[in-house]
Amino acid sequence: MLYTNLKHIENAADHAKAISQNENVMVICGRMGPMCIPVYGIAEELEKDYEHVKFFDMEFDNPESHVIRDIPEVRGFMGIPFTIYYKNGKVVKATSSIQTKQQVKTILDEYLTVSVNA
């Protein structure tokens, strides 16, 4: 159980729904540990400034988190949380271990931009 104020992804079906129904998605897959809690906190802070991005967390020890643990983009990752950024259902960036607010903002600004319709 993750005690955060983020929306929780409980299983693979939730995960599929989240990334298919939203253009820009950030999923933090971790535990309630020292490297993960700061990233949840950053995401909670950024939710109000990045309304075009949907922020979720997922418990690393939930077997259903294979949807994150088994993707090629996390090969070589040996530190939680695994943070995955999706654009139109595709992984566009993944990071391992703790990140600063500036590092997260840089990724959001580069990869999860607002779509402008012509």
Partner 1 sequence: MNTNNHYDVIVIGAGPAGLTAGIYLSRARLKTLIVNEGTVGGQMILTHEIANYPGVESISGYQLSSIMKKQATTFGCDIKANTSITKLKLQGDTKSITLDDGMSYTSNAIILSPGGRSRTLHVFGESKFKGRGISYCATCDGDFFTDKEIMVVGGGNSALEEAVSLTKYASKVTIIHQFDHFQAFDHAIEEARQHPKINFIMNSSITAFYGKEKLESVDIRDLKNDTITNFKTDGVFIFIGYVPNTEFLKGKIVLNEWNEIVVNPDMNTDLRGVYAAGDSVAKRYRQITTAIADGTIAALAASDYVHQLKTRNKQLIAN
Instruction: Name the residues that contact partner 1, by CB under 8 A.
Output: 3, 31-38, 41-42, 45, 75-80, 95-98, 101
Q: How far is the CB of 13 from partner 1 (least distance, A)?
A: 26
56 with 6: CB under 8 angstroms?
yes
Residue 83 Cβ, how far from partner 1 at the closest point, in Å? Answer: 10
CB nearer partner 1, residue 38 or residue 59: 38
Q: At 15, which amino acid appears?
A: H
Check: CB of residue 104 under 8 Å from CB of residue 53: no
Nearest CB to partner 1, comparing residues 75 and 90 = 75
In the complex, least distance from residue 46 CB atom to partner 1, rounded to whole angstroms = 8
Name the residue nearer to partner 1 (CB basis): 93 or 101: 101
Question: What is the smallest separation between the CB atom of 50 and partner 1, expressed in angstroms?
Answer: 13
> Which of 52, 68, 51 lies closest to 60 in space, CA to CA?
68
Cβ count near 116 (within 10 Å): 5
The position carrying tokens 């979720």 is 56
28 and 13 Cβ atoms separated by less than 8 Å: no
Q: Which is nearer to partner 1, 46 or 92 (CB)?
A: 46
